[in-house]
Structure 1
Amino acid sequence: MPNTLRPRSFAFSLLLLAALAPLARAQHALPPPQDATKYPAFDAHGDEKVAIAAIPFQTKEEMKYFRVDYLKNNFLPILIVVTNNGDKPISLAQARIDFIGANNDRVQAAEPEDVERRMTHVSNTGRAVPMPAPLPPMGGKPKTPDAKIEADFRQLEYQDVTVPPHSTKYGFLFYDMEGLGGNPLRDAKLTFRRVQDSDGRDFFPYDIPFNKFLDVQKGATQ
């Protein structure tokens, strides 16, 4: 997902349909979302009548919803739940949704190719490597996109840039946790900037601290 939310191109989706069709039911179905305020880690703005929750999926059991073990490759799926209890639609078309670590490391949401590079340890740039004459350039041939990763992103990634009145939308964003320590959620947060109303007015930022999630999780295991 780029720094601002935007749907993937229609043409790109059509090209993937044939390859992804056999994988359509490969993962378990997610349970329906609750109101965002029902989750441990959320931020709610009463004046705007909007609440946003963030739920990290960080156990092997939770990986059943995906076709790929993202945790094994240091990518953390975070379920985003956006509830609009107002009478007008809200827009996330310009939203910036970043993971901010305890040391203020800012991580943007990953794209499928970011995960593919990590899993294969091969760059997917396709750039030619110049060689001395008279040998021709040796091209770095782009690898075929991983169909399982593409399917997960196409079906599970958060893509609803508009949230209608009195509705809840949800989906995953994937964040690279490499280099953020053994427990990257402690003292970290997910920030939402440039959530807007139907007139294009920016709401105040939403900050979702993960310590709330960790505290509830710890209490459940004691």
Structure 2
Amino acid sequence: MKSHRFPTTPILLVVIFCLFAANARAADKKAPPVKPADQYAAFEVHPNEKVTVAAEPCDDPKDCDFFRLPYLQHGFVAIRVIFTNDSDAAISLDDARIQFISINNDKIPAATDDDLQRRLFSTKGAAGRKIPLPLPLPPVTVHDKPVDKQIIKDDKDFGFNGTTVNPHSTLAGYLFYDVRQLPDRPLKGAELYVKMVHTVDGKKQLFDFNIPFDKWLAAQPGVKSADNVPKP
């Protein structure tokens, strides 16, 4: 009886094609369109300064499936921060501080790319994943894209694309906050604190913004546990 040899090339092509298709689908996903800040559930408006800031958390991975990496499952909460400038003067975010203030007054800065990489990247991931093939073929080692490149792409696609909010325009971007050490309901009683926003010419600094996440929680339909962020 003749021994049967598995066709190695077609199997490898199928594996490569499937991986390419998965990456292509992820790259096609887009974040929800940006709206003026006062159209979100949680916002604060400064009528005299004619500037509004909103905070829109994303607490469910299904609602954030446009991200290339599972930030929420690793203890981060994603928050879209929206600035709407209805004044006649451009404002700058170059010096802005946007902090997550917990119910216990923990002050958490937005995570940097390095913070995200340290949490998500592992030696095991760098070594690659082994995909088993039918015997007698050895498993195929597939190296995923470097985590830092995926983080950079997410920042480019979903973060702030600038630091100037022009007159009568809206600028928005996603920021990540490390809430792994907070209670299981990190959004409850917490707020987004925005300070050190000033006009581009530097002549005027805007008053601080305090945006309570309870406003967003109260607007969620049904009994959704909107403030439960998955913990690793």
The TM-score range, normalised by the shorter chain, is: 0.7 to 0.9
Q: Please name the residue that 1:108 is paired with.
A: 109
Q: Please name the residue that 1:15 is paired with.
A: none
Candidates 204, 209, 218, aligned match of 1:206? 209
Moved more, 172-181 or 194-203: 194-203
Q: d(CA) in 2 for partners of 1:151 and 1:198? A: 28
The RMSD of aligned alpha carbons is 1.9
**1:138-160 superposed Cα distances (whole Å, 9 cap, x missing partner):** xxxxxx65322221122212242
Task: Report matched runs for 1:112-151 at 5 Å.
Answer: 112-120=113-121, 146-151=148-153
Q: Please name the residue that 1:75 is paired with.
A: 76
Q: Please name the residue that 1:155 is paired with.
A: 157
Task: Report matched runs for 1:146-185 at 5 Å.
Answer: 146-185=148-187
- Answer whether contact 2:59 2:77 (CA < 8 A) is retained: yes
TM-score between the two structures when normalised by the length of structure 2: 0.72
Give identity over the alignment, percent: 38
**1:52-84 superposed Cα distances (whole Å, 9 cap, x missing partner):** 101011112112120111111011111011100
Q: d(CA) in 2 for partners of 1:190 and 1:58? A: 15
Q: d(CA) in 2 for partners of 1:158 and 1:71? A: 19
Distance change in 2, residues 1:51/1:72 (3 Å): same
The runs of at least 4 consecutive aligned structure 1 residues that moved more than 3 Å come to 22-25
- Answer whether contact 1:27 1:64 (CA < 8 A) is retained: no
The offset of 1:120, in angstroms, is: 3.1
Distance change in 2, residues 1:25/1:212 (3 Å): same
- Answer whether contact 2:100 2:108 (CA < 8 A) is retained: yes
Q: Please name the residue that 1:95 is paired with.
A: 96
Q: d(CA) in 1 for partners of 2:119 and 2:200? A: 38
- Answer whether contact 1:24 1:151 (CA < 8 A) is retained: no
Q: Please name the residue that 2:63 is paired with.
A: 62
- Answer whether contact 1:101 1:189 (CA < 8 A) is retained: yes
Distance change in 2, residues 1:24/1:166 (3 Å): farther
Find the residue that maps to 1:180 and give its secondary structure: coil
- Answer whether contact 1:23 1:151 (CA < 8 A) is retained: no
The offset of 1:121, in angstroms, is: 5.3
Structure 2: unaligned runs, 5 residues or longer: 1-22, 124-145, 224-232
**1:105-157 superposed Cα distances (whole Å, 9 cap, x missing partner):** 011111122111112357xxxxxxxxxxxxxxxxxxxxx65322221122212
Distance change in 2, residues 1:23/1:48 (3 Å): farther
Q: d(CA) in 2 for partners of 1:23 and 1:198? A: 39
Q: d(CA) in 2 for partners of 1:184 and 1:45? A: 27
Q: Please name the residue that 1:39 is paired with.
A: 40
The offset of 1:178, in angstroms, is: 1.0
Q: d(CA) in 1 for partners of 2:217 and 2:31? A: 21
Q: Which has the larger radius of gyration?
A: 2
**1:157-188 superposed Cα distances (whole Å, 9 cap, x missing partner):** 22421101110111111110111110100110
Find the residue that maps to 1:146 and give its secondary structure: helix
Q: d(CA) in 2 for partners of 1:99 and 1:74? A: 14
